[in-house]
Amino acid sequence: MNSITTKWYSLIRISRPDPGRVVAEVEVDADSPWFSGHFPGNPILPGIAQLGMVMDTIQEFGHGEWRISGIKKARFKQMIRPNDPITIMTTCRGENPASYSFRVMVKGQLACTGILIAEGA
């Protein structure tokens, strides 16, 4: 898949390695509004932006216009800076088809983990 640019990040590649699992490679340009003011001279990608990319990844493969209804066990472990290569991995949790565990990796290092609960819009 070619790079697709959204309003604030570029989707480089997305795949479904097996049922219930989606992997996306993305990049956020330095001129993204998320970096404006967060923080001047030391820009980092806010957690809410990371969660938005996780939700976009889930929606990409057949979940239409869902919205986040809950987040559990979210842990932010590594800062994401402008133009860092980011990999987002989501896995449907068997007990609830609207519940996904996720991992956000930056430069091969774990940046964020958690469980995202979604519901139809």
Catalytic residue numbers read: 38
39 contact partners, CB below 8 Å, separation of at least 6:
none
Tell me the CB-side half-sphere exposure of residue 42, using CA atoms within 13 A: 2
DSSP string, 36-81: TTSSTTS----HHHHHHHHHHHHHHTTT-SEEEEEEEEEEE-S---
Place of tokens 């697709």: 4
Chain-centroid distance of CA 86 in Å reads 8
